[in-house]
Structure 1
Amino acid sequence: MTTKLRALTGYVLATITVAPLIWLLVAVLKPADELFQVALPSRITLDNLLYVLTQVPIGRYMLNSAIVSVAVTAIALVLHSMAAYALARLRFPGRQVIFSVIVSTLLVSLPVILVPLFLVVKELGLLDTYAGLILPAIFHAFGIFLLRQYYLSIPRELEEAADLDGCGYFRRWWQVVLPLSRPILASLAVLFFLANWNAFLWPLTATRDPELRMVQVGIATLQGQYGSAWNYILAATVVAAVPTLIAFVIGQRRLVEAIKTSGLK
């Protein structure tokens, strides 16, 4: 009975999770006047998708999101990995204090620092630039925390063997630790890419140039002051979700493995 109850619970939760996605896909294929009807569409149309792909610069929005997401992910992985290795292996005064301060930043949400961050970026002349979108998004305490936990699980004997060969800290990190960190780095790459692809508040604040709009901000422009073209918004949402779905499918196995091996139980 317990097994059947668990299976039933799983089916119910799966249905609740998948139902909105199914409704989204069906709604995109509906005519605009049938969008909010519960019944199946009287006819299937691709007009909504064709309008978004031809009349809305969704390609430009997705390109901007791709540039920012890939750049933030690549830079963050390198810097976070170096910081995490230093906190996991180097012995220096105040190491635990620094780590505690870094982790404590997880308690600070973006709206709290939005105005100071905007003023700093403005003073640096980085508004309406890719640099203004990329640089503030690089640092994230979760990446440093997760990598540090992973590095603590790596046997020290491997690094000691490299030390006997004359390797310094940098070569140990580059030649020993990084090759062993591929699962955790792949999982973080997926998380960073998804987070920056779906970013809205900071790109909305830091850019006014339509040519620099990221995809979530671009979709929001389809919503007017007195009305919203929901059929086009839903179609644009489906198009924008394709890269994130591909990234998650590719990296989901490594994501689960990394969390299991990082001591997060």
Structure 2
Amino acid sequence: MTTDIPVLAPLRRSPVARRKLLVFTCFLATAVTLTPIVMMVLVAFQSDTESMQTKPSFWPSSWHTENISRAFDLVPIGRYLLNTVIFAGGTTILETITAALAAYAFARLTFRGREVLFGVYLATLMIPTQVTLVPQFILVAKLHGVDTWAGMILPHAFTALGVFLLRQFFLGVPRDYEEAARLDGANRWQTFIRVIVPLAVPAIATLAVFKFISQWNNLLWPLVISNSDATRTASVGLQVFQSTNGTQWNLLLMAATITTVPLILLFFLTQRWFVKGITMSGLGGR
């Protein structure tokens, strides 16, 4: 007498059925993820009246492409996008440099208390960002960094997550490569630059993409530290847009669509490095 449930038994026996179930699950998850984005784009091209209806029809009756120019006229979206590139790009460059150096030290250098120090460093990941926001702001304010690029970028140029990710990759690199370079006369710095860094390009690219995306969407710190259009990022600019122009859903969502396009392009340009980096640098180190 079998204990198999009749409905589930064919799924366990048939690879085709399992594959179809997997495809359906992936399709359902993709649809749930993309639905808000598609709705945002559709409403962005609606008229003012249509977007403010009590029961809106998300498919626009007519496409109002002039909403793009109207959104740019109401707030300096171009300036906000440039500021976001500077902020996200600056923090990304600095973190990849500092994380690579610190990760190599924790992975290859031997010094007293290394493991304890690394454990304490990783423990900072458990501290919510909101807890350190006020002390961080007070420190930056005392250093006259409010509404400056240095005050915006430097506090986010060092994170334990980046060090952990790269350290795991460096631990997986055979020491034979470094020993061969040392035998050829290279010092530790030359070994790091000429041997380790080229091998770690996928991992570094993954870290850079993660960092850039997170900082592009960062709202809390730029909102606190920025006081003018000279340093406001796109996420803060959307808040300014809503507060100054009211809830004009079509224009607000058009501005949100414009600020989302660069991230979509970034993903398509870097997806090969992104997937390769996830595969090679993941958590498989020793």
Which TM-score bucket, shorter chain as reference?
over 0.9
Q: Look up the match of 1:83.
A: 102
1:26-74 deviation line (CA, Å, top 9, x unaligned): 1111112212613522211013211112332001111111111111111
Normalised TM-score (structure 2): 0.88
Asked whether 1:61 is paired with 2:80, we answer yes
Query: Is 11-20 or 30-39 further displaced after alignment?
Result: 30-39
Q: What pairs up with 1:1-265 in 2 under 5 angstroms?
A: 1-35=17-51, 37-224=56-243, 227-264=246-283
Measured in 1, the distance between the counterparts of 2:282 and 2:210 equals 18
Q: Report the residue type matching 1:24 in the other structure.
A: M
How far apart are 1:226 and its partner, in Å? 9.9
- The root-mean-square deviation of aligned C-alpha atoms, in Å, is 1.6
Q: Which runs of 5+ in 2 are unaligned?
A: 1-16
Normalised TM-score (structure 1): 0.95
1:107-155 deviation line (CA, Å, top 9, x unaligned): 1121110000000001111111000000001111111000000001111
2:62 partner SS? coil
Query: Is 171-180 or 244-253 further displaced after alignment?
Result: 244-253
C-alpha distance 39-226 of structure 1, shift in aligned 2 (>3 A)? closer
| Conserved? CA contact 2:99–2:166, under 8 Å | yes
| Conserved? CA contact 1:150–1:263, under 8 Å | yes
Q: Look up the match of 2:10.
A: none
| Conserved? CA contact 1:187–1:252, under 8 Å | no
Measured in 1, the distance between the counterparts of 2:244 and 2:78 equals 24
How far apart are 1:91 and its partner, in Å? 0.4
Measured in 1, the distance between the counterparts of 2:147 and 2:124 equals 26
Q: Which runs of 5+ in 1 are unaligned?
A: none
How far apart are 1:97 and its partner, in Å? 1.0
How far apart are 1:88 and its partner, in Å? 0.3
1:211 partner SS? coil
How far apart are 1:102 and its partner, in Å? 1.5
| Conserved? CA contact 2:43–2:58, under 8 Å | no
Aligned residues: 265
| Conserved? CA contact 1:222–1:229, under 8 Å | no
Measured in 1, the distance between the counterparts of 2:83 and 2:153 equals 11
Measured in 2, the distance between the counterparts of 1:79 and 1:61 equals 27
2:107 partner SS? helix
Measured in 2, the distance between the counterparts of 1:39 and 1:254 equals 36
User: Percent same amino acid at aligned positions?
Assistant: 38
1:52 partner SS? helix
Q: Report the residue type matching 2:263 in the other structure.
A: T
How far apart are 1:162 and its partner, in Å? 0.8
Measured in 2, the distance between the counterparts of 1:23 and 1:65 equals 24
2:59 partner SS? coil
Q: Report the residue type matching 1:205 in the other structure.
A: V
| Conserved? CA contact 2:202–2:280, under 8 Å | no
How far apart are 1:210 and its partner, in Å? 2.5
Q: Report the residue type matching 2:197 in the other structure.
A: L
For the pair shown, the structure with the greater C-alpha radius of gyration is 2
